[in-house]
Structure formats: C-alpha cells, structure tokens
Structure 1
C-alpha cells in the first residue's frame, strides 16, 4: 500500500522506521512545524522530520490541518494514513482522504486513557497494567474500532520516559502487523468496551509533589511526570526539582532510620535522604535546587545549614 505517516516526537520514530523497512511505500510524512529549542531558541525539526529526511521521504510540516495540507495529502494518492503522536487532531475531510482512512497507534488499553498523555496518566493513577492499541481514527477522540492490542504489566517503578520508550518499540511491531492485515484485507475489528478515562495533557503544576499525600500517590506522580514536565517540590517558596526518587528498601538503614518521618520533613539518614509523607517516607536520590545544577541529594543536604528542621513547603505556597 501507499502510506502517509503522521507523527512528531521520538516515540513515533520506531513506527516510522518499522514501516519504512516493510513492504509498503511511505510516500509522505506529516509532522509538526519546527520549534525553538534550548536556551538559544534554535528552530529545530521534530524527531520524525529528522528520521524522514534520513529515510528520503518527503516531509509536510504543519501546526494545524489546513485546506492546503489536506490537498497535499490527497495529491499523494495514499491508500492508508498512519498516525503516531502527531500532536493535532485530524478531522474531515482529511480523515476520509486515503481510501482506507487513518489508523492510530495509541499508548494505552483503550478505552482507558483516551487523550494526549496516556502513559503519564496511567502511571500517576497507579495502574497495574497498560499497553498499546491500534484503532481506526474517527472524529470522536480515540473512539474508533480496535484493530490490535498488546498488554504490558507494570513493575511499579518505571517512569513515563522509560515506559514510553518500551511501548514505542513494541507498538511499532503491532502497527506494522495491522498495516499488513489491512493490505491483505483481513483486519480484525472490535468495538471498544468498558469505562472511558481521559488522559489530558500534562501541565507544569502536575509535577508538584505535595508531601501531605501518601507515599504511593507521590511515587506514582513522580513516575508519571518524569522526565516531562518534571517533578518538583517547594522549598522556602522556590521550585526544587526532584529528578530521582524511590521507595526505600525494606527495613531501617544500618544507622537505624526512623519508621516515620513527618510529612515534608527532610532527614539525612546516613547516606540516604528521606522525606516524610502522610504514610511512609520516600528516598530522594538526585535533586536540583533552585539556581543550581543537578546533584546527589545527600551532597545537597550536607551543605545545607540548619538542616535539622528542614521541610518542604505545603503545596499551595507561592513558587
């Protein structure tokens, strides 16, 4: 078949490469416009755009779908459109432009976590399982017929970045299988069933850690917002980035760690830095205080004067 591929971030690149290595012809790639990156705000192509250029595939760039983009896709004579995290909604008449319409690789077990941030929201909710789904794109958000699904049990310690990287690879294999089935005229179509949950796009405030919450809730939130938009707490009103966090190993340390630490209280326990929650403490591993570079939490805390009473602010304090 003749394919048009739409995608933008790094998570879409394995799918593009897998399809390009297969039996079908990718005749165009649709991706988001270049965006300013870094401190110098240099205009930078999306990872999908870079991969498409490397593969020798023509690239269409668009922040939103215009009549001109629709006409350009129609002019390709594509049989099927394939979308993986493009970053904008596709609507009619573009949806009906390829003869087989569009299919979408989505990183959740639909209808759970429809929307922009399914991996992040699944981790923040403490789900025990997730996966990836290929479905037929329809005007309603992530609501089309299912064409293929893979399941992924969760360990309970993976971050959103790690999990998305894994699903991007396994999902690419699923996607190529579904495309082959459509080409052969034998796809399996199943209606979505079960409760619908929505995965809204994350904002910076989603990364705020309120240590009045439970250890499980805080750990899950940290997992879901790492690496983007990133986890932070407030310390004396300033943003304090929490780059690495974990549940301490069972049992007290050799120095005799306390079994309870007041919520938000930061405690140096030998070589470990513990922070209290409403239940059991968490361990800070790598942090970035405001205006400083990332560092080991123990190195940071040893350099703080009057650390015996140090505690994170309650959420809601001014940043």
Structure 2
C-alpha cells in the first residue's frame, strides 16, 4: 500500500523504520511544525521530520490538519492508508476521509483502558501489572475506534514510563506493520471496543508530578516512575524545586518528608516505609547520585523535603 506516516516524537521512529523496511511504500510524512528547543530557543524539526528528510520523502508540517492546503497536499500523495504514532494533533473528519483505509493509530495501551495522551504513565501510576499496545482506526471520538490488533507487555517493578514506552514502541512497530499487511490483503477484521473497562489517561502536568511524601511508599514510587522522564517527579528542598529520580522502598520508617543521611545513601520518609533516593537534579545542576547531592549541599539528617 501507499502510506503516509503521521508522528512527531522519537518514540514514533521504530514504527516509521519498520514501515520503511516493509513491503509498503512510504510516500510522505505528516508531523508537527518545528518547535523552539534548547537555550537559544532555535526552531528544531521533530525527530520524525528529521528522519523523513534523511529518507528523502515529502514532509508535511501543518499548523493544524484541518488546513485546506494540507489536505490538498495529502490528496496529491494518494495514500491508501495513514499509520499514526504519537502525532499530537486532532484529525478532522475531512482529513480522516482522504485515505481509502483511513488512519490507523498505534496506541500504547490495551484499549479501552487508558484512552488519551498519557496511557503509559497512567498504567504505571495505577499499579497495573500488564499493559500493551493496540492498533485501531481513528474516529472522531478519542481513541474509541474499532480495533485491529493488540499486543501485551508485563510492567516490571522498576519500570519508568520511559523504560516501558521504549519496549512498547519496539513491539508496537511490528504490530503496526502486521496491521497494514492485514488491511492490504483483507485478512483483518475490526472489532468494536467494549463499553466496559474504559479509563482515561489525560496529559500529566508538572504540578501532578510533585511528590506527596504523606502517601504510602508504594504510591510515591509509582508516581515517580510514572513521571520519569517526563515531566519529571519533583519536590521542594529549602524552597527550591529538585527533580527526584527512581527510588527503592526500604524497611526503615521516618516521618513523611524527613531525611536520613548515611555515608552512601539518602532515605526519605513517606506515609509508610522510607524510600531510598536514587538520583537527584537540583536547579541548574547536573543529575547526580543522591549521596553526592547530599554531600554537596551538606545535608544533615532531620532536614525535610516538600517544604
């Protein structure tokens, strides 16, 4: 089939590369416009746009896919199908109607669970044991279209959102190509999503990532892993924000937010057991081991996080 791939961030690259290596013909790419990046705030093309330029295929960067100019350019590419991975913009019906076989999304959850922008983060935060990826035809309602295929993936106890998303991106790439193959040869039949079991996964904001040390250690651990690497879990120390890396749960007990400093460790109290800090990033500093951070700020036991 002639396909136009839609995606923006790095997590979409495994699927794009898998399509390039398949028997399908990549005739174009749709991605978000160049965005400011770095200290100089220079405009930088998305990872998907950069890969498209390397491949030498047309790259479309509409401000919004409802633009008539974009839709005219898409029609000129004559796609049979538009596979999508983390594109980042809502598609109007007029755009959805252009390819004969529609727009096929690779979504990183087992639908109907965790519809929305942050399914991987929410699955970790909720303590799910298993998640996965689903291919489905995009319809007007968010992530509610009929499904083609599903893969599953166990969530490990130490998984951050970045770890899990990386595995799902790799495994989901194969699922997306298999879905395109099945659509082309007519062997795939869609099935509607169940009415029961729907859960929503809205975007996680910076304020959501603030660690609440009064929560049990398990909840603290899940929040931190769900928010790593983005937007980054954080807490206050002496009135300044510091980012908190993955933690491990200890048998010790301390009041919520209270710090215990050892030679090679830093413990923080929660609503249950204490947690051992892994890495810390203070404002304007590099990320470092918690013990090194503690020595640098001359941290003493009895100090507190969160105030």
Distance in structure 2 (CA, Å) of the matches to 1:285 and 1:88: 36
Corresponding residue for 2:13?
A: 13
Corresponding residue for 1:283?
A: 276
Distance in structure 1 (CA, Å) of the matches to 2:187 and 2:297: 65
Distance in structure 1 (CA, Å) of the matches to 2:128 and 2:197: 14
- TM-score in terms of structure 2 length: 0.96
* 1:203-282 matches, cutoff 5 A: 203-248=205-250, 259-282=252-275
Matched, 1:68 2:61: no
**Unaligned regions of 5+ residues in structure 2, if any?**
none
Corresponding residue for 1:169?
A: 170
Q: Give the total of aligned pairs.
A: 305
RMSD: 1.4
* 1:177-192 matches, cutoff 5 A: 177-192=178-193
Indicate conservation of the 8 Å contact 1:148/1:188, yes or no.
no
Q: Residue deviations 1:191-213, cap 9 Å, x none?
A: 11132111111211121001011
Distance in structure 1 (CA, Å) of the matches to 2:105 and 2:284: 41
Indicate conservation of the 8 Å contact 2:8/2:48, yes or no.
yes
Secondary structure in structure 1 of the residue aligned to 2:135? strand
Indicate conservation of the 8 Å contact 1:63/1:88, yes or no.
no
Matched, 1:295 2:296: no
Distance in structure 2 (CA, Å) of the matches to 1:182 and 1:13: 22
Distance in structure 1 (CA, Å) of the matches to 2:222 and 2:244: 13
Distance of aligned partners of 1:244 and 1:155 in 2 relative to their CA distance in 1, 3 Å threshold: closer
Indicate conservation of the 8 Å contact 2:235/2:244, yes or no.
yes
Distance in structure 2 (CA, Å) of the matches to 1:219 and 1:63: 38
Give 1:53 deviation, angstroms. 1.3
Secondary structure in structure 2 of the residue aligned to 1:53? helix
Indicate conservation of the 8 Å contact 1:104/1:137, yes or no.
yes
Distance in structure 1 (CA, Å) of the matches to 2:298 and 2:184: 67
Give 1:19 deviation, angstroms. 0.6
Matched, 1:84 2:124: no
Distance in structure 1 (CA, Å) of the matches to 2:201 and 2:19: 27
Distance in structure 1 (CA, Å) of the matches to 2:299 and 2:8: 48
Give 1:175 deviation, angstroms. 0.3
Task: State which drifts further: 172-181 or 71-80.
Answer: 71-80
Give 1:269 deviation, angstroms. 3.2
Indicate conservation of the 8 Å contact 2:221/2:246, yes or no.
no
Distance of aligned partners of 1:306 and 1:77 in 2 relative to their CA distance in 1, 3 Å threshold: closer
Secondary structure in structure 2 of the residue aligned to 1:307? coil
Q: Residue deviations 1:202-233, cap 9 Å, x none?
A: 21112100101111111111111101111110
Give 1:110 deviation, angstroms. 0.5
Matched, 1:309 2:302: yes
Distance in structure 2 (CA, Å) of the matches to 1:50 and 1:292: 30
Secondary structure in structure 2 of the residue aligned to 1:274? strand
